[in-house]
Chains A and B, each alone.
Chain A
Amino acid sequence: MSNRKLFAFIPLAVFIVLGIFLWRGLSIDPTELPSALAENKRPIPAFELPSLTSPDQMLSNEDLKGEVALLNVWATWCPTCKEEHGFLNRLAQDEGVTIYGINYKDEPGKAREWLRRYLDPYKKVILDQDGSLGLDLGVYGAPETYVLDAEGRVRYRHAGAVDATVWQTLKQVMEQVRQENAG
C-alpha cells in the first residue's frame, strides 16, 4: 500500500524537475555562445595582417603578447561599437588598460576617419578586412571583447557592448590572470 502511495508522487516529482529546468532556462540568454577559444585557454590564432593606422606595418599574433590586455573587435557598420567606444576611451585613458583593436570586415578609410573623430583607445589596430582573423577567433558579431594573458592566450570573451557592469567582470578576470602570472 505504501508503495502505491509513493507512485502517486511521481507526477509531482516530474513536475518539479521540469519546473527547475524551465526556470533555469528563463535566465539563460540563448544568443550568448561560449567561446571555444576562451574555454580551453587557447592562444590567439596565428595571423599576419596590416595595421589600420600605419598600413605598411604588418602585425602578427606575437604583437599581442607581453601583458594582460583587452582585444576589441569593432567596425564602423556596427552601432553597438559606437555605443561602447566612449567607454573604451575612458578605460584606456583613465584606467590605463591596454586595448588592442581588430577592425572587422570594414572599410579602412571609414575606420581611420572614425578613430580620428571619436578618438583612438587602441594601442594597435589590426586590419581584418576579409574577416579571416575574426573567423579564426570565432567572432559571430561585433562588438566582441576578449581578455588576453601575457602569453597571448584567450582567457575570456564578452559578446556585446562593454559598459561599467561588464567592465567589472573583465577587470576581475584581468586581475586574476595577472595574479596567476605573478604566482
Chain B
Amino acid sequence: MIKHVCIWLMLLAPLSAQAAIDAYEFSDPEREERFQQLTNELRCPKCQNQNIADSDAPLASDLRREVHRMLEEGEPDDSIIDFMVTRYGEFVLYRPRVTETTWLLWYGPFVLLGIGVLVVVLISRNRRQKQAAASSTGSETPTGYQPSEGLSAEEAERLNKLLQREKDQ
C-alpha cells in the first residue's frame, strides 16, 4: 500500500515542477517564434547575465507576460523593444542598436582588423624593399654620397665617381 502511494507521489513530482514554467498560448505560430526571439534578445534587468527567457526572477516573468500581451495585440517587434527601452534603458538590449554611441562597439573590431592588415602589409612591403635593395646593389659597396647641404647633386656624383675610380685602381 505504502509502496503504491510512494510511486504515485513520485509520478506527481515532475508534473508539479512542470507547472512552475509559464506557458503561453499563441494565436499563430509565427508569433510564438517572435516571442522566442524577443525573449532571447531582451536582458533581464534584475539578474543581469540572463535573458528574460531564461530567468526565473519575478520581474523576468512580468516582462515575458508583457511581451506576450503586446504580441497578441499585434504590435511589431520594434514597438515592443521601444517599450522595454523607455522603461529600462538600452541596457535591456542584448543586441544594441546602431547609434552614434554604439558605433565604436559595432565598427571598432573592423577598424582594428583594418589596422592589423595595414600593419602587416607595411611590414612585408618594407622587408621586400630592403631585400630587393640588398640584392641589386650587392652587399660590399657602401651607399655613395647623397646630395645634401653644401653638396649639390653634381658634386655628389663627381665625388662618388672619384671614390669609385680610386677603389678600382
Q: Which residues of A contact B91 (CB under 8 A)?
A: 33-34
Q: In the complex, A31 Cα to B48 Cα: how many Å?
A: 7
Check if B89 sits within 8 Å of A36, measured CB to CB.
yes
Q: Which residues of A contact B117 (CB under 8 A)?
A: none
Q: In the complex, A136 Cα to B62 Cα: how many Å?
A: 11
Check if B89 sits within 8 Å of A141, measured CB to CB.
no
**Interface on chain B toward A: helix, strand, loop, or mixed SS?**
helix
Q: In the complex, A181 Cα to B99 Cα: how many Å?
A: 33
Q: Which residues of A contact B88 (CB under 8 A)?
A: 33, 36, 138, 140
A9 → B minimal CB distance (Å)? 15
**Interface on chain A toward B: helix, strand, loop, or mixed SS?**
loop
B47 → A minimal CB distance (Å)? 10
Check if B45 sits within 8 Å of A36, measured CB to CB.
no
Q: Is B87 an interface residue (CB 8 A)?
A: yes
Indicate with 1 or 0, residue by residue over B43-65, a CB within 8 angstroms of chain A CB atoms: 00110100000000011001100
Q: Which residues of A contact B48 (CB under 8 A)?
A: 30-31
Check if A36 sits within 8 Å of B58, measured CB to CB.
no
Q: Is A129 an interface residue (CB 8 A)?
A: no
Q: Which residues of B contact A50 (CB under 8 A)?
A: none
Check if A131 sits within 8 Å of B62, measured CB to CB.
yes
B110 → A minimal CB distance (Å)? 19
In chain B, residues 60-77, which have Cβ atoms closer than 8 Å to a Cβ of chain A?
62-63, 66
Check if A141 sits within 8 Å of B59, measured CB to CB.
yes
B82 → A minimal CB distance (Å)? 11
B124 → A minimal CB distance (Å)? 16
Check if A36 sits within 8 Å of B46, measured CB to CB.
no
Q: In the complex, A141 Cα to B57 Cα: how many Å?
A: 10
Q: Which residues of B contact A135 (CB under 8 A)?
A: 62-63, 66, 87
Q: Is A41 an interface residue (CB 8 A)?
A: no
Check if A35 sits within 8 Å of B89, measured CB to CB.
yes
Pick the contact of A141 from B46, B62, B66 — CB < 8 Å? B46
Q: Is B18 an interface residue (CB 8 A)?
A: no
Check if A138 sits within 8 Å of B46, measured CB to CB.
no
The residue in chain A whose Cβ has the minimal distance to the Cβ of B90 is A36
A117 → B minimal CB distance (Å)? 25
In chain B, residues 80-101, which have Cβ atoms closer than 8 Å to a Cβ of chain A?
85-89, 91
Chosen A-B contacts, 25 in total, with CB atoms closer than 8 Å, are A30-B48, A31-B48, A33-B88, A33-B89, A33-B91, A34-B91, A35-B89, A36-B86, A36-B87, A36-B89, A37-B87, A39-B89, A131-B58, A135-B62, A135-B63, A135-B66, A136-B87, A138-B45, A138-B88, A138-B89, A140-B45, A140-B46, A140-B59, A141-B46, A141-B59
Q: Which residues of A contact B (CB under 8 A)?
A: 30-31, 33-37, 39, 105, 131, 135-138, 140-141
